[in-house]
């Protein structure tokens, strides 16, 4: 026994190394390796603990499969914080399949444990997550992802797909070309040495004429002939042969698991023989695909491949049958060279490719063909007889130097005149040369010759075609070009048509025959000083297109007369151009009038049933400014209560609303029409809502003071009163009517609602109006009198009580917040009924001779104002609110 005193490094639970002395350790010499292994394992655990703390995102742990030690096996220290009372660590697997997890977490140390041995072939990876949870299920820490990789061990034995393999080998197979492939698998982890297989030949039976007739590629398991085996089997049929083959894992290492199998190889006679050329007639009428040849490779595992030079309609099937898939055309291709290859499954040739020459035999299936675009031939006038005009050369696509392509010629037209043998042209039947005859030609004359070209040297059964030759007598440029039409139009175009639009196409002709004398140019001579039109045309064309270059305007020019001229490019001989060389195009511009549209799709007005005749309800206006006024009218005014000004669009009451009842709606149709364009008209509905006539208040209000309204909108309004100096109200001559000014913005943002015969409510029409001071024009009518008054309204943000909020500076002598709160609480408790104040107006109180403020609150649009005067409380207003 020996006593060792060791100073060891252990780690705290948070991964911090700490040196401590264990004391005296008693052990024997035989236990020293075990002690050293335990200390190394403890040190690894400390390192893994530190790494786990540093790696917060995801932990990776590797565990060997088939571990033979004791369990639980400590894997890694998890970065779990110190446990609190009433908490525990929860470990789960991130999988949809419910299964027992062979892992646990030590609740005291926070180590991840493996509870049993793992099998990589059963499961190669575990995706775990751990959390620290309270007893009531709350997550205190985590989740922390953990990936456990099961490290593979070489515990699987290779397996062949068959115990006995049978292969066929043909004589003539190239050495080194695989003719058979062995298949074996290993259940260990792919891509590792444990599953890296190597193939070997253990024995060959019989061993004659050589024990090394075959080669086996170690990694692919490809079986091939050796050079010695290829030469030995080429001369004599031997076999069959049996090979004992082995598959071993662990790659090229000496150790590893292994398996064996038997391969029986049968040697067959070489049938890969050369092929004789094949002659096929073109246009062969047989069913397709048509079998033309056969090849055969006697070995097994063969795939045939065919190449055609040039590419042609040939293929080969799995049995080696060669087919032509459609009719052949000798004129397209007279001969094909086919190459046939016998290959293994990897595309390697077992032997040299076989060649098959396919010759296409000619038939007389092509007639002679003249040049399809023979140019016109010009000859000077008064040319002597015998002058060669042209020489024909018809091409025959059949086999050269054969009767099928021997062509002769015969003149068909012009025929000689009746009663004479003289001809205008002569033709040599062999050479195809055309010469002038004895009949003279006139200047400017154009003659079309028709010549028959026949193969088979003109024999019966020959194919023929007709050749045409245009012959013209040269002329001088004595004709000017002329338009086919001198007057075009009138052409009607709307003024909003896009530039580039085609207006007209002008065509000119020239009586000259010489092409150079028929070239012409075009230009605009008059009627387009502003450059509104332009000409487009091809240089050698006899027509030109007149197109729009700029926008048209009916007001500027309702019509145009464009004069276009044409002339020869070459100099004209004789008299100059005449009137037919000028053409006039008349263009009429159609006015485009935009559709008529009002500023609203429908209109509404709310009036009391007591509104007097002649009261202005609203004004109908177009949606955009117009240079000419519209003509307005009303339709379906069955009661005759309304009238509209024909020019201004103002809608008034035509008479008192007798018979109208509060809550009813009266609908009429407003029509607007352009006086100058009767077809332009539009309409909109006008709905008049009748309101109850409010009672006349006992007090006539003073002129309008400043007001405030809340934004966003609240259910409050500003009271507008009739002019106080008017005495008609008290004399009983009818109520007042109120209307907003004609400004569309005012009518959009504001609404007027009648309150009684002398007052109205001004409210916001929109949910939001920009805070600030607004000036609202209001038109007041009473009997035959009309007033324009201005109401100044402060729009501001308000508190929940509807009071205007303003930013104010600190006042000198201002009480402290504590003092102010104490005074305010005591005062408000005494006069609680005065608190719901929403709006303060001083001048009305002064008009009543009151030394306090007046509060207005509108319970509903038709209910009267409730007046609440509260002097004691409002005297505190200067401490908290700024007057609005």
pLDDT category at 872 given cuts 50, 70, 90 is very low
Residue 487's pLDDT is: 94
Domains of the chain: 2-151 (2.60.40.60), 159-268 (2.60.40.60), 278-361 (2.60.40.60), 377-473 (2.60.40.60), 482-589 (2.60.40.60), 602-691 (2.60.40.60), 707-880 (2.60.40.60)
Residue 842's pLDDT is: 33
Q: Which segment of 390-399, 776-785, 839-848 scores lowest on mean pLDDT?
A: 839-848
3-state secondary structure of 663: coil
pLDDT category at 769 given cuts 50, 70, 90 is confident
Q: Which residues contact 806 (CB under 8 A, 6 or more apart)?
A: 796, 881, 882, 884
264 or 3, greater pLDDT? 264
Residue 35's pLDDT is: 53
Residue 476's pLDDT is: 76
Query: Which range, 109-113, 450-454, 563-567, is most confident?
Result: 563-567
Q: Is a pLDDT exceeding 80 seen at residue 22?
A: no
814-829 pLDDT per residue, tens: 555 555 545 454 444 4
Q: Do the beta carbons of residue 827 and residue 874 sit within 8 Å?
A: no
Cis omega (within 30 of 0) for bond into 72: yes
Residue 299's pLDDT is: 92
Residue 784's pLDDT is: 62
Burial class (CB in 10 A: 0-12, 13-18, 19+), 129: middle
CA gap 195, 155 in Å, rounded? 10
CA gap 736, 696 in Å, rounded? 10
Beta bridge partners of 146: 59, 128
**Mean of pLDDT values over 739-758:** 83
Q: What beta strand segments (E) does 510-628 contain?
A: 520-526, 533-536, 543-548, 559-568, 582-590, 602-608, 616-619
Q: How does strand 87-93 pair with strand 125-134?
A: antiparallel
CA gap 4, 85 in Å, rounded? 41
Q: Is a pLDDT exceeding 60 seen at residue 103?
A: yes
295 or 554, greater pLDDT? 295
386 or 98, greater pLDDT? 386
Q: Is a pLDDT exceeding 80 seen at residue 145?
A: yes
Q: Is a pLDDT exceeding 90 seen at residue 852?
A: no
Q: Is a pLDDT exceeding 70 seen at residue 117?
A: yes
pLDDT category at 257 given cuts 50, 70, 90 is very high
Beta bridge partners of 824: none
Encoding tokens for residue 42? Answer: 């403890």
268-282 pLDDT per residue, tens: 999 999 999 999 999
Q: Do the beta carbons of residue 685 and residue 670 sit within 8 Å?
A: yes
Cα atoms found within 13 Å of the Cα of residue 611, Cβ hemisphere only: 33
Mean of per-residue pLDDT scores for the chain: 80
Q: Is a pLDDT exceeding 70 seen at residue 113?
A: yes
CB atoms under 10 Å from CB of 181, counted, come to 17
369-392 pLDDT per residue, tens: 987 777 788 888 767 899 998 888
CA gap 398, 362 in Å, rounded? 7
DSSP H stretches of helix in 185-269: 227-235
Residue 787's pLDDT is: 80
Q: Is a pLDDT exceeding 90 seen at residue 309?
A: yes
**Mean of pLDDT values over 865-871:** 33
pLDDT category at 701 given cuts 50, 70, 90 is very low
Encoding tokens for residue 85? Answer: 């009372």
Q: Tell me the chain's radius of gyration from C-alpha atoms.
A: 57
Q: Is a pLDDT exceeding 60 seen at residue 50?
A: no
573-581, long-range: CB < 8 A, 24+ apart? 573/476, 573/477, 573/478, 574/478, 575/480, 576/480, 577/480, 577/481, 578/480, 578/482, 579/486, 580/482, 580/483, 580/486, 581/480, 581/481, 581/482, 581/483, 581/508
Q: Which segment of 225-229, 492-496, 820-824 scores lowest on mean pLDDT?
A: 820-824
Residue matched to tokens 């037209």 = 413
584 or 236, greater pLDDT? 584
Residue 38's pLDDT is: 55
Burial per residue of 445-457, b for 16 or more beta-carbon CB atoms within 10 angstroms, e otherwise: eebebebbbbbbe
pLDDT category at 694 given cuts 50, 70, 90 is low
879 or 267, greater pLDDT? 267
Residue 861's pLDDT is: 34
Residue 409's pLDDT is: 92
From residue 696, give the alpha-carbon distance in Å to each of 36, 610, 753.
112, 12, 15
Q: Do the beta carbons of residue 143 and residue 234 sit within 8 Å?
A: no
**Mean of pLDDT values over 722-746:** 67
35 or 113, greater pLDDT? 113
Residue 732's pLDDT is: 46
Burial class (CB in 10 A: 0-12, 13-18, 19+), 564: buried
CB atoms under 10 Å from CB of 835, counted, come to 10
122 or 814, greater pLDDT? 122
**Mean of pLDDT values over 145-157:** 92
553-594 pLDDT per residue, tens: 988 999 999 999 999 998 887 788 889 999 999 999 998 877
648 or 84, greater pLDDT? 648
Q: Is a pLDDT exceeding 80 seen at residue 744?
A: no
Residue 848's pLDDT is: 32
Q: How does strand 241-248 pair with strand 290-294?
A: unpaired
Residue 481's pLDDT is: 94
């Amino acid at each position: 026994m020996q006593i060792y005193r060791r100073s060891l490094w252990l780690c705290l639970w948070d991964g911090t190394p700490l040196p401590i002395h264990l004391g005296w350790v008693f052990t024997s010499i035989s236990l020293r390796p075990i002690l050293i292994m335990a200390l190394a394992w403890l040190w690894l655990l400390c390192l893994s603990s530190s790494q786990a703390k540093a790696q917060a995102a995801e932990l990776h742990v590797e565990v060997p499969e088939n571990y033979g030690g004791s369990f639980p096996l400590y894997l890694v220290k998890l970065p779990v914080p110190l446990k609190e009372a009433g908490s525990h660590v929860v470990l789960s697997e991130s999988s949809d399949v419910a299964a027992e997890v062979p892992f646990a977490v030590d609740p005291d140390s926070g180590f991840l444990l493996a509870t049993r041995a793992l099998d990589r072939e059963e499961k190669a990876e575990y995706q775990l997550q751990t959390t620290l949870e309270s007893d009531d299920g709350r997550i205190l820490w985590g989740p922390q992802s953990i990936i456990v990789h099961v490290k593979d061990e070489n515990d699987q034995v290779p397996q062949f797909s068959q115990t006995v393999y049978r292969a066929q080998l043909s004589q003539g197979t190239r050495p080194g070309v695989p003719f058979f492939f062995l298949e074996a698998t290993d259940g260990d982890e792919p891509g590792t040495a444990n599953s890296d297989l190597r193939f070997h030949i253990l024995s060959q039976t019989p061993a004659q004429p050589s024990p090394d007739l075959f080669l086996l590629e170690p990694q692919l398991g490809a079986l091939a002939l050796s050079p010695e085996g290829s030469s030995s089997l080429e001369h004599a049929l031997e076999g069959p042969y049996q090979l004992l083959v082995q598959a071993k894992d662990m790659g090229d290492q000496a150790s590893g698991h292994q398996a064996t199998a038997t391969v029986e190889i049968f040697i067959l006679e070489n049938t890969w023989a050369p092929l004789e050329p094949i002659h096929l007639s073109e246009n062969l009428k047989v069913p397709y695909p048509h079998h033309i040849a056969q090849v055969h490779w006697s070995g097994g595992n063969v795939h045939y491949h065919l190449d055609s030079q040039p590419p042609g309609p040939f293929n080969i099937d799995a049995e080696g049958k060669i087919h032509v898939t459609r009719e052949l055309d000798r004129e397209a291709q007279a001969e094909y060279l086919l190459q046939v290859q016998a290959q293994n499954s990897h595309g390697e040739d077992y032997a040299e490719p076989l060649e098959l020459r396919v010759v296409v035999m000619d038939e007389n299936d092509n007639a002679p063909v003249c040049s399809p675009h023979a140019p016109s031939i010009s000859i000077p006038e008064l040319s002597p007889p015998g002058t060669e005009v042209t020489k024909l050369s018809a091409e025959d696509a059949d086999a050269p130097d054969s009767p099928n392509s021997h062509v002769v010629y015969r003149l068909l037209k012009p025929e000689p005149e009746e009663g004479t043998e003289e001809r205008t042209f002569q033709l040599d039947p062999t050479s195809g040369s055309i010469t002038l005859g004895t009949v003279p030609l006139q200047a400017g004359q154009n003659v079309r010759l028709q010549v028959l070209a026949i193969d088979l040297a003109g024999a019966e059964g020959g194919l023929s075609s007709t050749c045409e030759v245009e012959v013209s007598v040269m002329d001088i440029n004595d004709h000017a070009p002329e338009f086919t039409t001198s007057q075009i139009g009138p052409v009607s175009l709307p003024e909003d048509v896009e530039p580039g639009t085609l207006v007209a196409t002008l065509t000119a002709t020239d009586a000259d025959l010489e092409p150079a004398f028929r070239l012409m140019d075009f230009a605009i001579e008059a009627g387009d000083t502003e450059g509104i039109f332009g000409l487009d045309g091809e240089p050698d064309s006899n027509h030109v297109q007149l197109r729009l270059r700029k926008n048209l305007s009916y007001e500027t020019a309702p019509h145009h007369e464009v004069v276009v001229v044409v002339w020869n490019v070459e100099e004209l001989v004789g008299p100059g151009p005449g009137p037919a060389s000028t053409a006039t195009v008349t263009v009429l511009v159609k006015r485009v009038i935009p559709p008529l549209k009002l500023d609203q799709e429908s209109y509404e007005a709310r009036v009391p049933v007591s509104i007097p005749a002649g009261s202005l309800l609203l004004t109908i206006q177009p949606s955009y400014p117009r240079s000419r006024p519209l003509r307005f009218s009303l339709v379906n005014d069955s009661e005759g209560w309304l009238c509209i000004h024909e020019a201004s669009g103002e809608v008034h009451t035509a008479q008192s609303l007798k018979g109208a009842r509060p809550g009813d709606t009266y609908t009429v149709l407003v029509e607007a029409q352009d006086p100058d364009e009767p077809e332009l008209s539009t309409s909109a509905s006008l709905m008049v809502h009748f309101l109850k006539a409010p009672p006349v208040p006992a007090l006539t209000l003073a002129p309008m003071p400043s007001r405030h309204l809340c934004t966003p909108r609240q259910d409050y309004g500003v009271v507008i009163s009739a002019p106080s100096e008017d005495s008609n109200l008290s004399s009983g001559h009818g109520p007042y009517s109120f209307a907003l000014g004609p400004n569309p913005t005012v009518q959009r943002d504001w609404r007027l609602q009648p309150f009684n015969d002398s007052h109205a409510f001004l409210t916001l029409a929109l949910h939001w109006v920009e805070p600030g001071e607004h000036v609202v024009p209001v038109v007041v009518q009473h009997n035959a009198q009309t007033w324009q008054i201005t109401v100044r309204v402060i729009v501001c943000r308000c508190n929940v009580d509807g009071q205007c909020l303003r930013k104010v500076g600190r006042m000198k002598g201002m009480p402290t917040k504590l003092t102010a709160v104490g005074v305010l609480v005591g005062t408000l408790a005494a006069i609680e009924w005065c608190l719901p104040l929403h709006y303060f107006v001083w001048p009305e109180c002064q008009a009543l001779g009151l030394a306090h403020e007046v509060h207005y609150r509108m319970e509903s649009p038709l209910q009267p104002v409730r007046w609440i005067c509260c002097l004691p409380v409002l005297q505190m207003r200067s401490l908290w609110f700024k007057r609005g």
